[in-house]
Amino acid sequence: MKQEEDFYKRILDNLYEGVYFVDTDRKITYWNEGASRISGYNSDEVIGTACWDNILVHINDEGVNLCQGACPLQQTIADGKTHEVEAYLRHKDGYRVPVLVHTSPILDSRGKIIGGVEIFSDNSSRKAAVQRIEALQKMTLLDELTQIGNRRYLDIDLSAKLAEAQRYSWTFGIAFIDIDHFKMVNDTFGHDVGDEVLKLVTRTLLNNSRLFDVVGRWGGEEFIAIITHITGPKLYPIVNRYCALVEQSRLSVNSNVIQVTISIGATIAKVNDTVDTLVKRADELMYQSKLSGRNRVTVDV
């Protein structure tokens, strides 16, 4: 039994998400390593205390304290249902961390509720993405179809990155990305399907980019990814992953399954680059990928 408990504990401790168990009095009986990473509190500091002791001090967008009011764990223990809320916990160091909280009841072998489990994950990247979209909308820098930065936004961001590179010697790269045979998709299936393909490629690029990188729509079926804090040898694996993941994506339309590929040209920014020279070099490298057979990456570092 002890070996089995240790086995499950190792699994839970390797999760990125925070996980903790409470009994029916909401006393904490288990606290995993993920919970420690996100909150700053280790298990010795919290096990045996109650979540209503205000350790994490969950609040909502209005600043209402959930731990002493509408606690999702308390609701779960009371009604036996799962609950999900967005909240802000207070880190041990005092600052607020946005988290997505899921709660579920813990049942014994007879189906009786004997406690609850809360799983919480750092929601910072999602909050940052939402805030970025809202900011772009306000500044007319958002591409309406794909909901990512448009060409104007990319121009501004590239100018800022080049200025940082000259001032601080921070290296960055860009990838010029073009969907292969996109006109054929439009001609065969229509522009509505073409729009869905653009969204599919957008989601694939965006969801598989690092948090601090930027993906924007340059125009038509062309995208640019700005890959920050990177040196030449590390550029190829990142952009080649884009290529591989798009190739393995699928769009189902009625009885048709549509698969597209992309061609990429990627380069590291140079000291004397302007936005125009940098984009032109990446664009020319992308055309080398087209001439070499498409669905590939050409990198010049």
Q: E strands along 9-109, which residues?
A: 18-23, 28-31, 83-90, 96-107
Say if residues 17 and 34 touch (Cβ distance below 8 Å).
yes
Q: What are the start-end ranges of the E strands in 220-279?
A: 222-228, 251-253, 256-258, 262-268
CB 266 within 8 A of CB 174: yes
Contacts of 198 (CB under 8 A, 6+ apart): 145, 146, 179, 217, 221
Q: Which of 86, 221, 247, 284 is catalytic?
A: 221
Per DSSP, what are the bridge partners of residue 19? 119
Active site residue 221: yes
Q: Which residues of 215-227 are buried (b: 16+ CB within 10 A; e: fewer)?
A: bbbbeebbbbbbb
CA 253 to centroid of chain Cα atoms = 26
Report strand pairing: 28-31 vs 83-90: unpaired
The residues with which 206 forms a beta bridge, in sequence order, are none
User: Exposed/middle/buried for 91, CB within 10 Å: 0-12, 13-18, 19+?
Assistant: middle
Q: Which residues contact 277 (CB under 8 A, 6 or more apart)?
A: none
Pair 244, 177: CB distance under 8 Å = no
Query: Which positions are annotated as active-site residues?
Result: 221
